[in-house]
């Protein structure tokens, strides 16, 4: 005998879980838009784009708070178990990762007034832009994985994070012998950008690790979240 279909209350519960999944995806898209603004700022130094990014982050923060409240409300009302509980807890973790990626994008766009000077570093600047592009693509892979609930992509992110260390080595080598009076200031600006890119890639890998845990329920996968 087949089990009876879920009642209207359980149907509403699962509808809300699906809505939360879609809202997480939407928040991820909003963060992605700010990452693209970040790349635009690094190419142009446009302070208007930087201002747009700063304003857009308020919406991202509001979505973060709203979704957390919905998750906590579900935990209190429904007391979900098994895979449903794993989903809600995973959403709480992933929301935090998305919010942090958004904050890292802002850290970079705030350097808009210094982009013109940073561009004078030549090869170092080219390496830095490649580093940022690599990190953004890693984040977009995480977003695709979440949208499709793709275990293969989640595993790829968790087990094979973007190899950014060689970029850091090239960056350090290319700025080591710069003889400019403002060399230290430029180096610090580049450090901020490179570290932000590195952390964006890390957060993408953590999203992949958490999604893999969500899809498999295997607790050993949680270790991959440690960065």
Assess if residue 34 is contained within a domain: yes
Contacts made by residues 60-66, CB under 8 angstroms, sequence distance 24+: 60/27, 60/30, 60/31, 60/34, 60/98, 60/99, 60/102, 61/99, 61/102, 63/23, 63/26, 63/27, 63/30, 64/27, 64/95, 64/98, 64/99
Kindly indicate the confidence band of residue 174, based on its pLDDT and cuts at 50, 70 and 90: low
Whether pLDDT at 192 is above 90: no
Kindly indicate the confidence band of residue 224, based on its pLDDT and cuts at 50, 70 and 90: low
162-166 average pLDDT score: 65
Q: What is the pLDDT of residue 30?
A: 97
Assess if residue 92 is contained within a domain: yes
Cβ(109)–Cβ(38) below 8 Å = yes
Assess if residue 1 is contained within a domain: no
Kindly indicate the confidence band of residue 181, based on its pLDDT and cuts at 50, 70 and 90: very low
Cβ(139)–Cβ(147) below 8 Å = no
Distance of alpha carbon 116 from alpha carbon 132, whole angstroms? 17
Whether pLDDT at 4 is above 50: no
Q: What is the pLDDT of residue 189?
A: 78
- Token couple for 25: 């995806």
Q: How many domains does the chain have?
A: 1
| Residue 151 CA neighbour count, 13 Å, CB half | 7
Which helix H or strand E contains 180, and what residues bound it? none
Assess if residue 2 is contained within a domain: no
pLDDT tens, position by position, 101-133: 999 999 999 999 989 988 888 888 888 898 899
Q: What is the pLDDT of residue 173?
A: 60
Assess if residue 3 is contained within a domain: no
Assess if residue 149 is contained within a domain: yes
- Token couple for 72: 């906590």
Average pLDDT over all residues of the chain = 85
Whether pLDDT at 208 is above 50: yes
pLDDT tens, position by position, 53-75: 999 999 999 999 999 999 999 88
Assess if residue 51 is contained within a domain: yes
Cβ(138)–Cβ(185) below 8 Å = no
Kindly indicate the confidence band of residue 1, based on its pLDDT and cuts at 50, 70 and 90: very low
Assess if residue 91 is contained within a domain: yes
pLDDT tens, position by position, 25-46: 999 999 999 999 999 999 999 9
141-152 average pLDDT score: 94
Rounded to two decimals, the pTM is 0.83
Which domain covers residue 186, as residue numbers?
Answer: 8-225
Q: What is the pLDDT of residue 2?
A: 45
State the Rg of the chain over Cα. 20
Q: Indicate which CATH number applies to the domain containing 155.
A: 1.20.58.220
Whether pLDDT at 223 is above 70: no
């Amino acid at each position: 005998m087949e089990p009876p279909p879920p009642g209207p209350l359980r149907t509403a519960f699962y509808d809300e879980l699906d809505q939360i999944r879609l809202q997480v995806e939407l928040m991820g898209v909003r963060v992605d838009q700010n990452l693209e603004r970040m790349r635009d700022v690094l190419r142009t130094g446009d302070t208007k784009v930087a201002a747009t990014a700063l304003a857009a982050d308020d919406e991202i923060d509001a979505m973060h708070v709203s979704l957390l409240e919905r998750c906590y409300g579900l935990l209190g009302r429904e007391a979900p178990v098994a895979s449903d509980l794993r989903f809600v807890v995973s959403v709480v973790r992933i929301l935090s990762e998305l919010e942090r990626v958004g904050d890292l994008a802002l850290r970079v766009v705030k350097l808009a007034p210094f982009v013109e000077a940073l561009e004078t570093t030549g090869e170092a600047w080219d390496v830095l832009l490649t580093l940022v592009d690599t990190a953004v693509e890693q984040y977009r892979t995480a977003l695709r994985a979440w949208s499709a609930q793709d275990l293969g992509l989640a595993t790829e992110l968790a087990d094979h994070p973007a190899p950014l260390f060689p970029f850091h080595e090239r960056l350090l080598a290319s700025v080591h012998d710069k003889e400019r009076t403002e060399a230290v200031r430029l180096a610090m600006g580049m450090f901020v950008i490179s570290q932000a890119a590195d952390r964006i890639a890390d957060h993408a890998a953590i999203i992949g690790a958490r999604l893999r845990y969500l899809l498999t329920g295997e607790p050993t996968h949680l270790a991959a979240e440690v960065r």
